[in-house]
């Protein structure tokens, strides 16, 4: 497992997702030396997790993020690369986060398919309270141990050693905060790694945390499918939906799900669950899904318009002298919004603001041919 070839492969995977970040560029200044040092540290078990960067995001809500150093991200890709094949055989089909050929758009299309197959049916939408902050590290490691030991994976002892180091690492002991640290006080105690028990919680922002979330919930997914006998079921991280023709069955499922999560995983459901007819529409992953069509959620459009307005305002104030970083940030926002919209057909007859959102994606950021960074005509 801890070969230079494997470390280099993990680095290449990591580089795809972290192009030209400062940490990536610094690591690459002495690339071969850094890769050999990392290989040696893992082989000798002297590897130590480096300083994390802690910051707060404000959209759609205030959230704490711990971002690992680039070197540690390479290790995360190494771990996930080792485990992916094993768990792809264990995960049910309808889990859509952090998996190849899945994602939000596939989840939304699948939800529409389930709704269309039972037009007069119901859906039960649930999510878990403070999901990442309530994941029990001991339960997670025991789950991994139980799955890895009987498997055909090679170098199990090294893999388990590294998994233990990552899972039980406390990023609050070694971090650099970016932004106004006073804003941490605005976070509820149950939504920050600084105030929860050290045996719980995984840092939002790391590849391993996303992957471990699926490992942690995998037995629950099988419980819903096999024990509760729910054919129509979709999960994206901690947000999941059950589809069934019987309202009473879904009501019963909610009770059993609550008990299972509490007894087996130490988790609790949020109180704002939704049990509705499929024809009323499902608000899921930034879309409004109905049996016959899909719309972009209003909040997604409004957030994009606000970001666009801010960018154009900054452009005017700076008289066009925007930094390359600022330009790339807006291009990223624009590309993300366009991607979100392109999977939805234009339904002017159903929702005018939805149609406007499509026109907006074509109008915003129309580049001047003589100056590719001139947005003054947008």
Task: Report pLDDT digits (tens) over 211-257.
Answer: 999 999 999 999 999 999 999 999 999 999 999 999 999 999 999 99
Q: What is the mean pLDDT of the chain?
A: 87
Using a 10 angstrom Cβ sphere, with 0-12 exposed, 13-18 middle and 19 or more buried, the burial of residue 21 is middle
Query: Is 332 a residue whose pLDDT tops 90?
Result: no
Confidence of residue 4 (pLDDT cuts 50, 70, 90): very high
Q: Looking at residue 293, what is its pLDDT?
A: 82
Query: Is 351 a residue whose pLDDT tops 70?
Result: no
Query: In this structure, which long-range contacts are made by residues 161-165, counting pairs with CB atoms below 8 Å and at least 24 apart in sequence?
Result: 161/45, 162/42, 162/47, 162/75, 162/78, 162/79, 163/79, 165/47, 165/49
Query: Is 337 a residue whose pLDDT tops 90?
Result: no
Q: Looking at residue 205, what is its pLDDT?
A: 84
* pTM confidence score: 0.83
Query: In this structure, which long-range contacts are made by residues 353-359, counting pairs with CB atoms below 8 Å and at least 24 apart in sequence?
Result: 353/298, 353/301, 354/295, 354/296, 354/301, 356/301, 357/296, 357/301, 357/304
Least confident of 93-97, 133-137, 178-182, 296-300: 296-300
- Residues 199-208 have a mean pLDDT of 95
Report the run of H or E that residue 192 belongs to, with start and end: none
- Residue 203 in tokens: 């840092």
Q: Which of 46-50, 324-328, 333-337, 349-353 has the highest mean pLDDT?
A: 46-50
Residue with tokens 């940490």: 23
Residue with the larger pLDDT of the pair 58 and 211: 211
Helices (H), ranges, the chain: 4-17, 22-29, 31-43, 70-88, 104-117, 131-134, 137-148, 156-167, 207-222, 247-260, 298-317, 324-342, 352-363
Q: What separation in angstroms does the CA of 105 have from each of 176, 180, 285, 303?
A: 35, 35, 9, 19
């Amino acid at each position: 497992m801890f070969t230079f070839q494997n470390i280099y492969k993990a680095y290449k995977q990591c580089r795809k997702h972290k192009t030209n970040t400062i940490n990536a560029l610094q690591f690459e200044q002495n690339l071969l030396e850094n890769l050999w040092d990392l290989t040696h540290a893992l082989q000798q078990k002297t590897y130590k997790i480096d300083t994390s960067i802690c910051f707060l995001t404000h959209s759609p809500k205030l959230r704490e993020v711990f971002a690992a150093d680039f070197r540690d991200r390479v290790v995360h890709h190494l771990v996930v690369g080792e485990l992916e094949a094993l768990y792809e055989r264990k995960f049910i089909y309808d889990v859509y986060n952090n998996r190849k050929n899945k994602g939000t758009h596939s989840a939304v299309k699948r939800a529409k398919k389930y709704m269309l197959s039972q037009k007069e049916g119901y859906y039960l939408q649930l999510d878990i309270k403070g999901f990442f902050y309530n994941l029990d590290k001991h339960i997670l490691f025991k789950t991994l141990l139980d799955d890895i030991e009987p498997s055909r994976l090679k170098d199990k002892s090294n893999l388990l050693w590294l998994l233990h180091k990552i899972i039980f690492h406390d990023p609050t002991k070694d971090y650099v905060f970016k932004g106004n640290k006073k804003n941490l006080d605005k976070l509820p105690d149950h939504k920050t790694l600084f105030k929860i028990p050290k045996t719980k919680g995984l840092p939002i922002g790391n590849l391993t945390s996303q992957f471990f979330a699926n490992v942690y919930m995998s037995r629950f997914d099988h419980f819903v499918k096999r024990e509760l006998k729910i054919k129509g079921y979709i999960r994206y991280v901690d947000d999941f939906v059950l589809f069934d023709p019987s309202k009473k069955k879904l009501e019963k499922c909610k009770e059993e799900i609550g008990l299972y999560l509490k007894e087996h995983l130490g988790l609790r459901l949020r109180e704002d669950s939704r049990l509705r007819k499929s024809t009323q529409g499902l608000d899921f992953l930034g879309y409004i899904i109905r049996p016959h069509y899909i719309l972009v959620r209003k909040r997604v459009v409004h957030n994009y318009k606000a970001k666009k307005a801010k960018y154009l305002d900054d452009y005017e104030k700076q008289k066009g002298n925007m930094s390359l970083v600022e330009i790339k940030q807006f291009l990223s926002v624009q590309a993300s919004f366009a991607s979100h919209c392109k999977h939805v057909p234009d339904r002017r007859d159903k929702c005018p603001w939805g149609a406007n959102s499509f026109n907006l994606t074509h109008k915003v950021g129309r580049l001047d041919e003589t100056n590719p960074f001139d947005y003054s005509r947008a």
